[in-house]
Structure 1
């Protein structure tokens, strides 16, 4: 018995999870699945018309030029920067101006635009959700424990 999936970091690291969700979404698009819908701007991934948005525009292993392009398209938007391998809100900050990210990059020992194996901390950046679902006025997350008894066929219990 094991208490972790092999290669679990493919889902637990922010950058790799985004990469895998986008890859899965591309597969759904190839199959013309209704689950492959996006919102009218093409930026938010949906799980069908009734399920709503589940992933705002997110850039893993940040492509600086793509980020600048998105920031210029909607200059009043706020973005959230998160280190890929940290938890509990450590290292997270909000930006809404390009000058802020340039200043942070100069003053930081980490580099914003690096791949995970470069020895420096990699970051992901996402559009900030201005009006998130709150419980008692506070953000929340769900910690779920899942028992997987078989991969083929997949059988799991929460």
Structure 2
């Protein structure tokens, strides 16, 4: 179904009034507060009030802040178990102090957090991962839940992930499919990031059978922009699973490969043509860094606003595209069994 115009005015780069695609101005804090009031009124008793801390963005390197940092006679502490200088600077800019003890107000860590950490948390403490979130973020676990939901509700509802096999467990099934198909397959480690260990399968002997990998049917004819592959970084924040509360950031990233896409045999192992990870492409001599936020359609990283404008110019139905993206997000959060894992093992975190 086609979305209503007032809904898509909130999508980056969308404007129902301007044919040239000029986006609407950012809403004021008062307008945002009014929208939040409407949402809370609609939720009624299902709404859960939580204490909040307002954070100001830390100044960019080489610039000074125009406002003083928050001062407090009893500043809050943060525990940072990750290499995240931007978060560290933001916390400290807002008057928080680092700690390595259990007196933190906010803990930021990687996904593999021990159960004891959750069980020892106080009501006033916050952490950046739900328990068992790897059921969603690990490629092998994600596919397991996706396949189960496709079986339960039909592939017509779950058609947004290519055919996939988890090896070595499903090696026999993959081998049968591989022998009767003439497509390419892409191999990925089950729990890695930044493009590490990914390759296009050329021969079965390349498969590492002593570790868990995910093998997916490679999309041979992807949508290209000026001959280059790209992907989207759409940022979704989940604050509760019962009731489900998720917020989608209005902006995001469009990340490009740094070499033109090609399926010629001698190009199939060229990561700069087939992968869009920034960690990979920043090492290419052809990579163009975007250094001006006002020119958000330059180089190998665009904003979502710039992408929407470009797609409208080449005839893509941007409204329908975002309907499908929103549908994908909801199904990923709601239907991939993640809710049941969190509710069963840690019911105190679903309220």
Band the TM-score falls in, shorter-chain normalisation: 0.5 to 0.7
**Distance change (3 Å), C-alpha of 1:139 and 1:87:** farther
**Distance change (3 Å), C-alpha of 1:61 and 1:72:** closer
Work out whether 1:90 is the aligned partner of 2:196: yes
Match of 1:8 among 133, 136, 140: 133
Matched residue count: 122
8 Å CA contact retained: 1:15, 1:61: no
Q: TM-score with structure 1 length normalisation?
A: 0.66
Cα RMSD, aligned residues only:
2.2
Which residue does the alignment assign to 1:126?
Answer: 216
Q: Distance in 1 between matches of 2:190 and 2:129?
A: 19
Match of 1:20 among 132, 145, 164: 145
Q: Distance in 1 between matches of 2:219 and 2:173?
A: 19
Q: How far off is 1:13 after superposition?
A: 1.2
* Unaligned ranges ≥5, structure 1: 30-35, 39-44, 47-53, 106-110, 113-119
Q: How far off is 1:15 after superposition?
A: 0.8
Match of 1:71 among 178, 182, 206: 178
Q: Deviations over 1:26-84 (max 9, x none)?
A: 2214xxxxxx328xxxxxx52xxxxxxx111100234221112111222x211111111
Q: Distance in 2 between matches of 1:134 and 1:12?
A: 26
* Unaligned ranges ≥5, structure 2: 1-125, 249-351
Secondary structure in 2 matching 1:27: helix
> Of the two, which has the highest radius of gyration?
2
Secondary structure in 2 matching 1:146: strand
Secondary structure in 2 matching 1:141: strand
